[in-house]
Amino acid sequence: MENESLAANFDQYFEIKFADTKELRRASYQIRHSVYCEELGWEPKQDDGLETDECDEYSFALLLVHKRTGQYAGTARLVIPPPNGPDKLLPFEQHCLESIWREVIDMANYPRGGFSEISRLAVPESFRRRAGEKNTPFVVNDISLDADVFSAEERRNFPNIAIGLYLSIIALAKMCLHLAMFVVVEPRLNKRLNRIGFLFEQIGDEHDFHGNRALFYLPKEKFISGLNPEILELYYLLEEQLKKQMFMLPYLIR
């Protein structure tokens, strides 16, 4: 419908799913393997077709479901450092902790369990890639239009898949009462995210890791403050879907 809102249109085709079973988590790992191992070659291929790491032990995974086909259109995870596990590090703590601009942010202000990292966001090729496009696990503002199984109207919604996953992960962090969330992305991608209303701020030096990347963070005050009314409506739709699927004991500041 021409005058239909972004949220109403998105809701026709997709819904967010909290991966709270072994089967759902396996589906998330399979998407990650197909994108990060088989397509991009960023991680080694595994015989079982699952891409996992030690952070999955203390992560929550989400899946975006394409309603008509039942296919999974994307996945992402929120990695949370356990308060009682100082040796259980977030991906950015393992790979780029030394690059943090300590004059900008003091990690001592963020108790373990009270912050998180967006990680392993991946969209299968059939929901993402243009002919000839490579070296990216997802896109924010472009998508293939040549998948015959999908209608033209469905394909027009594909660029919003990554946006929906970002919004859902932010909703999850907000429900956990986190003080901030972190992500390692290309600065040029962050500029696109900023234009959408995701107000991540760079807090570390750029480094070469599957392309030019840097550490960014989003304090709780900015989780949704930059979203325009249309994007905010979609956020609340996805947040409500998640609330109906889980019972969580959030981190609390004592």
Q: What global pTM score does this model have?
A: 0.87
Judging by beta carbons within 10 Å of its beta carbon (0-12, 13-18, 19+), is residue 38 exposed, middle or buried? middle
Q: Taking residues 197-226, report their average pLDDT.
A: 93
User: Is residue 63 left, alpha or beta, with left meaning phi > 0 and alpha meaning psi from -120 to 50?
Assistant: beta
Banded pLDDT at 210 (limits 50, 70, 90): confident
Q: How far apart are CA 218 and CA 117, in angstroms?
A: 10
List of domains in the chain? 6-243 (3.40.630.30)
| pLDDT at residue 136, rounded to an integer | 59
Percentage of the chain lying above the pLDDT 90 cut: 74
Residue 169 has pLDDT above 90, yes or no: yes
Looking at per-residue confidence, does 111 or 3 come out higher? 111
The pLDDT score that the predictor gives to residue 158 is 77
How far is the C-alpha of 163 from the C-alpha of 169, rounded, in Å?
Answer: 10
Q: Comparing 20-24, 135-139, 161-165, 207-211, which segment has the lowest mean pLDDT? A: 135-139
148 vs 145, more confident: 148
Least confident span in 52-56, 209-213, 214-218, 247-251: 247-251
Angle at 73 between CA 88 and CA 55, to 5 degrees: 5
Task: Give the whole-angstrom CA distance, residue 173 versus residue 241.
Answer: 14
More confident residue, 134 or 213: 213
> Which has more pLDDT, 245 or 32?
32
132 has a pLDDT exceeding 60 = no
- 52, pLDDT greater than 80: yes
Q: What's the start-to-end Cα distance of the chain, in Å?
A: 49
Across 23-34, average pLDDT: 97
Local confidence band at 97 (pLDDT 50, 70, 90 cut-offs): confident
Decide if pLDDT at 202 tops 70: yes
Low-confidence winner among 79-88, 108-117, 145-154, 191-200 (lowest mean pLDDT)? 145-154
pLDDT of 124: 93
* Burial class of residue 235 (count of CB atoms within 10 Å of its CB; 0-12, 13-18, 19+): buried
State mean pLDDT over 203-208.
91
Q: What H or E segment, with its residue span, contains residue 190?
A: helix 187-196
Using the predicted structure, report yes or no on whether residue 140 has a pLDDT greater than 90.
Answer: no
From CA 75, how far away is CA 61, in angstroms rounded? 7
Q: Which residue has the higher pLDDT, 128 or 183?
A: 183
Q: What is the average pLDDT value for the chain, to the nearest integer? A: 88
Residue 249: predicted pLDDT: 52
